Amino acid sequence: MSVTLKSLIAAVALLFCSTTFAAIQQGKDYTVLNPAQPASTKKIEVLEFFFYECSHCFHLHGELAPWEKNMPADVELTFVPAIFRDSIEPLARTYYALESMGKIKQLDDALYQAIHVKQANLYDLDSISAFVASRGVDKAQFSSAYNSFTINSKISRAKQLIRSYNISGTPTLVVDGKYVITGLLPADAIRVLNEVITMVRKGRPATPADKAKAK
């Protein structure tokens, strides 16, 4: 067999493997939620259910954070703290309190690092408020937000979403209120997420902007 023919066969085999790898399958890479839940945005909604103490969430965070910076304009990513038990609630409140103060992007990675790398014990308001204060957040303002009616409402909403979406583990990604991605390695989760978003986009009616681009 000639070198040229061998090279051609190898190239075709590589292309086949790449195509096979890219194909996602219902039941393997994602499941379909029944009944589907209404999305809160006209964009393609992506929800991530997480909690800071979850090591798998920490690893996915390393992939999802850069993905978020470059995500398509027609996609909206929302983080939902998963509150499976009372001991998780303080850090869920922390997420929402920092979000309300405009500080979550500044401290999100620091919280994961503190818990999983530095083994910090951040399980109550005192320890958490001391931690965020050490990162430049006003301690009194944080404590006020942490215990506010607004945060209480967001905690109740998060618990409701966990029930509605039947979330039993983290991290879990839900796309368009219907497609559930969980139990995958971080890089695979992002790959499947991109494919599911493309699938959802193709199934939607073309917008005026899309029609204009097609002309």
* pLDDT, tens only, 158-207: 999 999 999 999 999 999 999 999 999 999 999 999 999 999 999 887 66
Kindly indicate the confidence band of residue 211, based on its pLDDT and cuts at 50, 70 and 90: low
Q: Which domains does the chain have, with CATH numbers?
A: 23-203 (3.40.30.10)
For position 70, what pLDDT does the model report?
A: 96
Kindly indicate the confidence band of residue 208, based on its pLDDT and cuts at 50, 70 and 90: low
Q: What angle do CA 39, 195, 57 make, to 5 degrees?
A: 70
Closest CA to 35 of 206, 177, 147, 186: 177
Task: State pLDDT tens for residues 60-111.
Answer: 999 999 999 999 999 999 999 999 999 999 999 999 999 999 999 999 999 9
For position 21, what pLDDT does the model report?
A: 53
For position 205, what pLDDT does the model report?
A: 78
For position 40, what pLDDT does the model report?
A: 87
Find the radius of gyration of the CA atoms of the chain: 21
The burial of 111, by beta-carbon neighbours within 10 Å (0-12 exposed, 13-18 middle, 19 or more buried), is given as buried
For position 6, what pLDDT does the model report?
A: 54
* Greater pLDDT, 22 or 164: 164
- What pTM was computed for the model? 0.85
How do strand 75-81 and strand 44-50 relate by DSSP bridges?
Answer: parallel
Measured CA to CA, the distance from residue 170 to residue 175 in angstroms comes to: 15
Q: Which residues are within 8 A (CB) of 1 and not within 5 positions of it... i.e. 6 or more apart?
A: none
Phi-psi region of 88 (alpha: psi -120 to 50; beta: other; left: phi over 0): alpha
Task: State pLDDT tens for residues 141-163.
Answer: 999 999 999 999 999 999 999 99
For position 17, what pLDDT does the model report?
A: 45
Closest CA to 36 of 176, 161, 168: 176
Structure tokens that stand for 23 in this block: 């194909």
Closest CA to 77 of 45, 34, 54: 45
Q: Which residues are within 8 A (CB) of 132 and not within 5 positions of it... i.e. 6 or more apart?
A: 94, 98, 103, 107, 139, 142
